[in-house]
């Protein structure tokens, strides 16, 4: 009888413990509120474009971003990167800071933003991923928001703090001067 009671008690405690851990995960899911935050800003210069014959990487900019710290700050220290399901790019906007009638966004036919991170565990770079791409209209503009690619989850790449954004484009028309640009990226943390 005593042995049966001990076995039943141990089983009950194990079930309670399993239910508690399961409940903690469910509680975390209910308490965590998704948010949008800056995913970095990069300054770069597009050199004078002399040909429209090729698609080319314009520039790569390294930035430092500690996503784990951002999550902790946004959640009062309750959550970390491990508690997040996904991180996706919400917007990627390119602005030309020195435009004129002959040198502006309309000089480009197509734009692409690529993302990569340095993995401290392997001491190497991860695979580069496209996060935004779009055909660009042929009308004067000083800035343009590229269409964000769906289902690109960056969570596993955010463990390091050294990030790279690369901008690539296909020119519609040549330019007559270097273009000073800013790339602003916002990410959604869920």
3-state secondary structure 91-147: EEEEEECCCECCECHHHEEEEEEEEEEEECCCCEECCCEEEEEEECCCCCCCEEEEC
- Whether 92 and 170 map to the same domain: the answer is yes
Asked whether residue 153 falls in the same domain as residue 105, the answer is yes
Residue with tokens 């296909």: 170
161 in the same domain as 67 = yes
CB atoms closer than 10 angstroms to residue 179: 24
For residues 10 and 59, membership in a common domain is answered with no
Q: What is the H or E stretch that residue 14 is in?
A: helix 2-31
Q: Note whether 53 and 42 are same-domain residues.
A: yes
Kindly give the confidence (pLDDT) of every residue in the chain, 190 residues in length, as a single tens digit, with 9 standing for 90 and above: 555 545 545 445 444 555 555 445 555 555 789 999 988 899 999 999 999 998 887 877 788 888 889 999 999 999 999 999 999 999 999 999 999 999 999 999 999 999 988 877 788 888 889 999 999 999 999 999 999 999 899 998 887 778 888 899 999 999 999 999 999 999 999 9
Handedness of CA 79, 85, 88, 90 (dihedral sign): negative
Note whether 50 and 88 are same-domain residues.
Answer: yes
If asked whether residues 111 and 47 sit together in one domain, one would say yes
* CA distance readout (Å), 182 to 38, 54, 96, 101, 170: 14, 22, 7, 19, 18
- Is-contact 178 45, C-beta < 8 A? yes
* CA–CA separation, 42 and 132 (whole Å): 15
d(CA 14, CA 35): 36
Query: Using an 8 Å Cβ cutoff, are 155 and 30 in contact?
Result: no
Quick one: 69 and 97 in the same domain?
yes
Q: Which CATH number characterizes residue 155's domain?
A: 2.60.120
Residues 115 and 95 occupy one common structural domain: yes
Quote the pLDDT of residue 3. Answer: 54
Give the count of domains, the chain. 2
pLDDT of residue 164: 87
Q: Does 5 lie in the same domain as 83?
A: no
Domain span holding position 83: 34-189
pLDDT of residue 117: 84
* Claim to verify: residue 53 and residue 100 sit in the same structural domain: yes
Q: What pLDDT is attached to residue 100? A: 98
Q: Position of tokens 């996060």?
A: 131
Same structural domain, 162 and 100: yes
């Amino acid at each position: 009888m005593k042995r049966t009671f001990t076995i039943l008690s141990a089983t009950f405690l194990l079930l309670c413990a399993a239910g508690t851990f399961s409940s903690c995960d469910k509680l975390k899911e209910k308490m965590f509120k998704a948010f949008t935050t800056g995913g970095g800003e990069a300054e770069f210069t597009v050199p004078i474009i002399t040909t429209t014959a090729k698609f080319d990487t314009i520039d790569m900019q390294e930035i430092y971003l500690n996503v784990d710290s951002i999550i902790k700050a946004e959640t009062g220290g309750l959550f970390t990167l491990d508690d997040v399901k996904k991180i996706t790019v919400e917007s990627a906007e390119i602005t030309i800071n020195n435009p004129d009638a002959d040198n502006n966004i309309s000089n480009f036919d197509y734009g692409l933003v690529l993302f990569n991170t340095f993995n401290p565990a392997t001491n190497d770079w991860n695979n580069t991923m496209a996060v935004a791409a779009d055909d660009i209209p042929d009308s004067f503009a000083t800035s343009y928001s590229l269409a964000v690619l769906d289902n690109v989850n960056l969570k596993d790449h955010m463990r390091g703090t050294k990030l790279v954004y690369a901008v690539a484009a296909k020119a519609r028309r040549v330019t007559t001067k270097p273009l000073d640009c800013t790339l602003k990226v916002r990410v959604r943390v869920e």
